[in-house]
Amino acid sequence: MGQKIPPGLIKRGDTWHIQKTVCGQRIRESCGTGDLKEAEKYLAFRMEEIRQVAVYGVRQKRFFREAATKFLEESTKSTLRMDAVQLTMLDPFVGDLPLESVHMGSLQGFIQHRQSQGLKSRTVNYALQVVRHILNLAASEWMDERGMTWLAHAPKIRLLRQDDQKAPYPLSPEEQVRLFKQLPFPLSKMALFKINTGCREQEVCGLRWEWEVPVPQLQSSVIIIPSALVKNRRERLVVLNRVAKGIVDEFRGQHPTHVFSYRGKPLKSMNTSGWKRARVRAGLPHVRVHDLKHTFGRRLRSMGVSFEDRQDLLGHKSDRMTTHYSVPELDNLIMAANKACSQEGTALDVFTVLRRRKTT
């Protein structure tokens, strides 16, 4: 006669799992063992632990996977999709750990695994920042029905040294011409728009017609990107200089919702194989898509544009930032943005070349 299995224990593969409700709380977790007696002990331990919480108000044990799920369900971060990818990578290493057991020591396995894959410290640090944010929320904001935080205190999560981080590389006018001549359509137009507005890659890819705001007094328009899609969580004013305005007008009517599309579909990324091949052919294998934003900022500074105007044009966070500008203020920003066209010198020639290279 086989050994009796207690209610609430289910075997999946070689491991026992708990599926039980105790004192109104659902338990859905692994016992971490394939031995039935050990699984029974763990089930009894968890049941008593929950009873202690219900009777005496002891802080309930929470697991990192539970906290990660809560974070993904409630967060409004513009980078939520990237955060979800990082948490998926983290789950095999710390998903089953109680929150109080997630610290630099227990994260070493994840760190070493990612480094063995050849990833740079900056990439690993992104995941560590997500962990740190979740633990801070658990220790300060997330409360149970008794008013107790999920975690007594958050451990210090140290980021790795980024000795391998690449320095910004603003393009010279000559390098811009070389690179843009190699880019396929419509990536060439997106790159030209980015280098004349300082938008981030995802802001360019996600640019929508409904965000365009006409400014008839200046015979132009601006674009206001919603705060939910901006890294610093504030509405982003995009000022269109003459090159950027020309690109927007050229794409007008080609797609019902998005400014940049190809064969009827919006583009999700600029860092494509087309970008990577083009930079190699141009002799610029180290240039990143984000360097186009650095180029715009460097050109504004070299033309004497004030620090405050550069902040506004680049979408940097400041106490002064707003999307509610008067017409004279917008006129000033448009003139400042046009100085980047003058500094790059050959940009309008590049624009003309790219118009000739358009294909469908």
Q: Is 173-356 a CATH 1.10.10 domain?
A: no
Query: pLDDT below 50 — which residues of the chain?
Result: 1, 344-354, 356-357, 359-360
What are the tens digits of pLDDT across the range 175-210? Answer: 999 999 999 998 999 999 999 999 999 999 999 999
Q: Can you tell me whether residue 215 is helix, strand or coil?
A: strand
Question: Does the structural domain 64-140 have CATH classification 1.10.150?
Answer: yes
d(CA 295, CA 344): 10
SS3 at position 27: strand
Phi, psi of 273 (to 5 degrees): -65, -30
Question: Closest Cα to residue 124, out of 148, 147, 157?
Answer: 157
Same fold, 64-140 and 173-356: no
In sequence order, the β-bridge partners of residue 215 are 220
* Closest C-alpha to 239, from 341, 103, 152: 341
Number of H helices, E strands in the chain: 14, 8
Closest by CA to 336, choosing from 266, 261, 260, 244, is: 244
Question: Which strand ranges, in their side-by-side order, compose the sheet holding 212-215?
Answer: 212-215, 220-225, 236-239
Is the pTM of the predicted complex or chain greater than 0.85?
A: no
Which of the 8 DSSP states describes residue 142? -
Cα(245)–Cα(250) distance, rounded to whole angstroms?
Answer: 9
Q: Where is 42: in which H helix or E strand?
A: helix 36-56
User: Domain extents for the chain?
Assistant: 9-56, 64-140, 173-356
Q: Give the dihedral sign, CA 316/319/324/329.
A: negative
pLDDT tens-digit readout, 35-81: 999 999 988 888 887 777 666 666 888 999 999 999 999 988 777 88
pLDDT at 80: 84
